[in-house]
A and B are shown apart, each in its own frame.
Chain A
Amino acid sequence: MRRGRIFWTLVAMVLWSGGVVGASSVDWARVDPTLAEATFVNDDTTCADCHDDYIAAYSRTRHARAFQQGSRGGCESCHGPRSLHIEDPEASGTPWNQLSTTSQSAVCQQCHQSGSRLHWNATAHASAEVSCSSCHLVMERTSERGLLIKEDANATCYSCHAEVRGEMARMSHHPLEEGSMTCASCHDVHGSTQPAMMRGNTVNDACYSCHAEKRGPFVWEHAPARESCLNCHTPHGSNQRNMLTQKDPFLCLTCHSYGGHINLPRYNRTSNPYGSGCVNCHITAHGSNHPSGAKLTR
């Protein structure tokens, strides 16, 4: 029932939205009202006459190179019409950092609206008034990839999410510090509309992209694991093995009290307080295909 309603709503929205038009454009008068009367000069050499200090560093960026391809644009593609500024250099318009973050991003979205960025405006980042230039520095190449404000993606994210750096330094962690992963391996910072801007449709989708062996489906499912890996794991880092949220066997004991050996951290066997706790025997905690897998011991 829910599915049908959602489908027809989408169809109606597509029909309502109208025809196909060319590339996106930006309303400069709306972005910066001081540019309302200005016109495009379309001559980057004029800009370079005064701003050559920026040009050297800028020229080696992907932006500069893309803009060299005629139709892609030039300085005014991002800085707006500058005829008034050329007539009077003091009339420099509203400084970039005083534009609203929506306006800043709208400028970038002229070209960068493809891929997941299609949903940028609906993201938690946009809602929190993060703009493209919060993370990207387009005038200079300071990172190997992505024209980021810091040397790499993780450092860029930590500049706002400092607490995650501390979590990632814990004993059990994903290999971000070692450079094999970045925050963007799990988070789609440009276009996810999911909680925590996760990649995929669920947290588990993001996890399965590297841990496909846990994707199943299994004959014997462990229901909390199927619903969310976060029920037992804390992927930003943990003081417990395997990024568990809590010390084994206490983690298992928060849900299981069938009596006997299930109910105590120790019960006459080494397996409970040693090694992996309950998982020493209930080893297929992510699901089992064994005919006798009901208790996830095989």
Chain B
Amino acid sequence: MSKKTGLAMLLVSFALPLSAQETADVEVDGELRIGVEQIDVDTNSSKFNEYRDRRDGLLVDRLWLDLFEPGTGRYFELAGDRLGRRDQGLWLRAGRFGVWDLGVDWTETPHLLSNKAQTPYIDMGNGRFEVPANIPVIFRRLATSGADAANVVATDSLVAAYLAQYLHPTTLGTQRDRGEARLSFAAAPGFDVRARIIDEQKSGSKLGYGPIGDRPPRTLNIQLAEPVDYRTRGVELEAEHVGERFQMAVAYQLSEFENEIDTFTWENIWATPAPGADFQEWDRAVSAFGRRPLSPDNRLQQLTARFGASGPWNGRLDANVSYGIIEQDATLLPYSYAESILVSPDLPRDSADAEMVTTHANLTYLAKPTEALSLRGYLRYYDLENNTPESQWWYVTSDTSNLNGTRSYKNNRVSLAYAFDRLELGAEGTWRVGPWRSAWTVLLEREDVARAYREADTTEDLVQFQWRARPSGTVNLRLKVAVADREGDGYNGFVTRESYWYAPSAAGTDADDPQFTFSNHPDMRRYDVSDRRRETVDFNATWTPRPELVVSVSALARDDDYDSNVTPSQPLLGTGLADQQATSPGDQLGLLDTSQRRAAIDLAWTPNETLTFSAFLIADGTESFQRSLEYNENNKENPSAVATAELGPWTRAESQWTADIDDESASLGLGFNWQVRPDQIAVRYEASWTRGRTDIDYQGFGVTNWNGTPFPTNHQFQFGDAPTIENELFRLESAVDFPFVGATKMTVGYLYERYDIEDWQQEANTPWFESVGSEYLLRDSSRSHQWGNRLVNMGSYLAPGYRGHLGYLMVSYRF
């Protein structure tokens, strides 16, 4: 059934009860608003309609019908917005008070990502994408031997010409249609049963990439549209008892996700074997296609019991327990698409089956021994047990391979069954005492997280003080101060060794032996499992000088310090290697600290019954600081061998770099609603402005070599302060309602939007990469001959800035 047919049927069904009008037995309320929209947008930017569907034409903007039969308590309510459009919503509620209730929601949500993307690919269906022709590459070498500049230039020209011939527009974006029905039934006094059914479809495409090959710079990569065709269906059943002394519910949830497209396959744009030739002409074997699995079908089942009861000290116990299973058993793809030309081993198991079991428990006891004192204690526990088999795999360099199929010992990998459990214990006391009707709250909380195959378990202790007060009938104050200390328990930076399964002898004399040395740099601390001290001050005040005026002010300061007492370490000590005394600089790497400051003011003023003003201003800034160190991973065992090399040892502090990232946002809004003549003429006005800015202050290696020599901008490692990333949206909407014909009302409205964006990752305006003959072919400015140096892309600024005007005219009939 098309949207238009459905809409027509809906309008007819809407008209039937309208014709009956209100009788003594049935109360009828409703509204119908129909009109036209006209847009004028200077740029066909997807951002204008990112999550909505504003376009020229007729529109059923609003439909509402409310029927109630007082004699029986039966009700029926139907409402819809923007019917017939891609962002339409519908809901229905029917039932009989105290007996049964049915609710149905239907929501459609577009997520438009680009109207201007271009691609040479043709969607052949079922996730397979092919190109109309391949690029007759002159320069064929993918390896690291010397470049033939003339051939490189010629090849780039060929690629640009190819793109000019074969690029065609493709829409990037998805459409999500979600339906949900809920039925509740009072089976007996104090006993209800409920059911909920969910059916959601999401289809379209999203921005994807097609890497073919082992790793950059040898990887071929291309930006392309990844197909999306998802369906999620769910059922929830619940039985509940609500009694005076205790309440209890048992619920079962089943959710099944199905991906209609299991595999994404894309043709290698760059080359195909010439007649009579094969890939052996290349330094590496190259597949004619790349392939990877898309999100697997999966199933979630969960059983939950909830319980609440009265207890001593005027208390209340709340508890819930859940037990769930998440599983999938997708078919495994072979290691490589090009099995015929690569040495492709047998897979270690038949399918990608994986299973996780979750257990959750929550206990809270709240007591009020006196009116002035409240006590709360709680326990939260979550356990994720990973039953996925751990298997030994090859990391086959999939579709391009050194020496046509052999692999490095380092590419023997184990899929680890990550798991964790989290236990939180908290105790809180609130004492209402002192001036200004003050309430003082102290919260103590401990969180323990135990993890399998991670660098650290963590324990975090939180102490929080809160003061709430009402100095007068017009002022409410709240001040919250919290300090939390997280300790990473014996950070084990060598845990990654467990993800390799080769015999130590396989490494031979290779100086990069991850089982023997390390993967992450010894000074790195991953921020989610490192030590952290968090200090938060949060203030909020509400002032109501007169009933018609409310002013709220809030401020937040939060500082996170990830200092984990990193000291110089000797990861090779005891190995017998010549370099076993090699020592890391001992400066912590990773995220070091973040600092957030936020202030907000909100005002609502209703000077009289016909006029309402509102305004808000919010400013937010987060500064984060991180450090890393560039080193040659091929010299982990013998860093002294590269002591003075550009890509040097992991021991060299001079190879460190830092990034100080300043991320700021500001929002300002103003609005009023004026009932010029109550229920007859009204004027609405809303304006808002939002700006986001990100500045990156980059220092150290990259700006200069380790010895302080500045890198030229076309050096392969050169990096520096990135241009400011900025986006700004101004929106203004105004509308006037006035009487039209008979009982109808007309609305004339206007919307203006201005969106601007600047982002160095979306255009070739930095010293680091450049367009080569085509906006759609980018090349690193170091001009390497390697293939990872090029990227065929779908265009700069896939969702560019715009200036948009929208006028609308609506007629509404309310009864």
Binding site for B on A (CB under 8 A): 2-3, 6-7, 9-10, 13-14, 16-25, 60, 62, 65-66, 68-69, 71-72, 100, 102, 113-115, 118-119, 121-122, 126-129, 144-145, 158-160, 162-163, 165-167, 169-171, 175, 177-180, 193-194, 201-202, 208-210, 212-221, 223-224, 226-228, 231, 239-240, 246-248, 250, 253-271, 273-277, 279-281, 283-284, 288-292, 294-295, 297-298
Q: Within 8 Å CB of A214, what residues of B?
A: 295
Contact across chains for A23 and B366 when beta carbons are under 8 A apart: no
Contact across chains for B780 and A269 when beta carbons are under 8 A apart: yes
How far does the alpha carbon of A100 sit from the alpha carbon of B663 in the complex, in Å? 41
How far does the alpha carbon of A65 sit from the alpha carbon of B75 in the complex, in Å? 9
Contact across chains for A163 and B600 when beta carbons are under 8 A apart: yes
Closest chain B residue to A180 by CB distance? B109
How far does the alpha carbon of A142 sit from the alpha carbon of B327 in the complex, in Å? 44
In residues 604-648 of chain B, which contact A (Cβ within 8 Å)?
Answer: 604, 616, 618-620, 624, 626, 628-634, 636, 647
Contact across chains for A259 and B632 when beta carbons are under 8 A apart: yes
Cβ contact of A170, chosen from B413, B647, B692, B716, cutoff 8 A = B692
Closest chain A residue to B468 by CB distance? A129
Contacts A163-B600, A257-B520 known; 12 new A-B pairs at CB < 8 A: A3-B383, A14-B307, A115-B240, A175-B109, A193-B362, A212-B300, A213-B259, A219-B388, A227-B449, A268-B789, A270-B788, A289-B352
Contact across chains for B97 and A178 when beta carbons are under 8 A apart: no
Q: A119-B308, A217-B326 are in contact. Are A239 and B665 (CB under 8 A)?
A: yes
A159 CB, nearest partner CB in chain B, Å: 8
How far does the alpha carbon of A273 sit from the alpha carbon of B311 in the complex, in Å? 60
A149 CB, nearest partner CB in chain B, Å: 11
Cβ contact of B788, chosen from A113, A226, A254, A269, cutoff 8 A = A269
As a 0/1 sequence over residues 105 to 123 of chain B, the CB contacts with chain A under 8 angstroms (1 = contact) are: 0010101000000000000
In residues 97-155 of chain B, which contact A (Cβ within 8 Å)?
Answer: 97-98, 107, 109, 111
Q: Within 8 Å CB of A267, what residues of B?
A: 216, 716-717
Closest chain A residue to B783 by CB distance? A268
A241 CB, nearest partner CB in chain B, Å: 8
Q: Within 8 Å CB of B791, what residues of A?
A: 269-271, 274-275, 280
Q: Within 8 Å CB of A280, what residues of B?
A: 209, 211, 221, 223, 791
As a 0/1 sequence over residues 24 to 68 of chain B, the CB contacts with chain A under 8 angstroms (1 = contact) are: 000101000000000000000000001110000000000010001
How far does the alpha carbon of A135 sit from the alpha carbon of B789 in the complex, in Å? 56
Q: Within 8 Å CB of A263, what residues of B?
A: 521, 628-631
Nearest 8 A/B pairs, CB to CB: A259-B633, A166-B618, A239-B692, A268-B716, A213-B295, A17-B309, A175-B51, A122-B364
Contact across chains for B358 and A201 when beta carbons are under 8 A apart: yes
A233 CB, nearest partner CB in chain B, Å: 13
How far does the alpha carbon of A52 sit from the alpha carbon of B439 in the complex, in Å? 38
Contact across chains for A217 and B327 when beta carbons are under 8 A apart: yes
Contact across chains for B415 and A223 when beta carbons are under 8 A apart: no
Q: Is B355 an interface residue (CB 8 A)?
A: yes
Cβ contact of B292, chosen from A19, A177, A212, A298, cutoff 8 A = A298
Q: Within 8 Å CB of A19, what residues of B?
A: 245
Q: Within 8 Å CB of B779, what residues of A?
A: 270
In residues 687-728 of chain B, which contact A (Cβ within 8 Å)?
Answer: 688, 690, 692-694, 696, 698, 701-702, 716-719, 725, 727
Q: Within 8 Å CB of A145, what residues of B?
A: 91
Contact across chains for B73 and A69 when beta carbons are under 8 A apart: yes
How far does the alpha carbon of A115 sit from the alpha carbon of B300 in the complex, in Å? 21
Contact across chains for B354 and A291 when beta carbons are under 8 A apart: no
Q: Is B313 an interface residue (CB 8 A)?
A: no
Query: Interface size bucket, B side?
Result: 35 or more
Closest chain B residue to A218 by CB distance? B354
Q: Within 8 Å CB of A290, what residues of B?
A: 292-293, 333
Q: Within 8 Å CB of B431, what residues of A?
A: none
Q: Within 8 Å CB of B223, what residues of A?
A: 275, 280
Q: A171-B757, A261-B216 are in contact. Are A212 and B393 (CB under 8 A)?
A: no
CB pairs A–B below 8 angstroms (23 shown): A2-B383, A23-B242, A118-B318, A163-B618, A171-B727, A178-B52, A212-B232, A214-B295, A219-B352, A250-B626, A254-B626, A266-B768, A269-B217, A270-B780, A273-B760, A276-B207, A280-B209, A280-B791, A291-B334, A292-B336, A294-B415, A295-B215, A297-B211
Q: A169-B690, A213-B259, A215-B326 are in contact. Are A273 and B725 (CB under 8 A)?
A: no
Cβ contact of B395, chosen from A23, A128, A295, cutoff 8 A = A295
Q: A118-B308, A144-B79, A257-B524 are in contact. Are A215 and B418 (CB under 8 A)?
A: no
A181 CB, nearest partner CB in chain B, Å: 8
In residues 207-252 of chain B, which contact A (Cβ within 8 Å)?
Answer: 207-209, 211, 215-217, 219, 221, 223, 230, 232, 240-249
Q: Is B320 an interface residue (CB 8 A)?
A: yes
Q: Is B446 an interface residue (CB 8 A)?
A: no
Q: Is B566 an interface residue (CB 8 A)?
A: no
Q: Is B535 an interface residue (CB 8 A)?
A: no
Q: Is B742 an interface residue (CB 8 A)?
A: no
Q: Within 8 Å CB of B780, what residues of A?
A: 266, 268-270
Contact across chains for B51 and A66 when beta carbons are under 8 A apart: no
Q: Is B373 an interface residue (CB 8 A)?
A: no
Contact across chains for B454 and A223 when beta carbons are under 8 A apart: yes
A126 CB, nearest partner CB in chain B, Å: 8
How far does the alpha carbon of A50 sit from the alpha carbon of B228 in the complex, in Å? 61
Q: Is B761 an interface residue (CB 8 A)?
A: yes
Q: Is B650 an interface residue (CB 8 A)?
A: yes
Q: A165-B618, A257-B520, A292-B396 are in contact. Are A122 and B383 (CB under 8 A)?
A: no
Contact across chains for A17 and B618 when beta carbons are under 8 A apart: no
Cβ contact of A247, chosen from B499, B620, B661, cutoff 8 A = B661
In residues 758-815 of chain B, which contact A (Cβ within 8 Å)?
Answer: 760-762, 766, 768-769, 778-780, 782, 784, 786, 788-791, 793
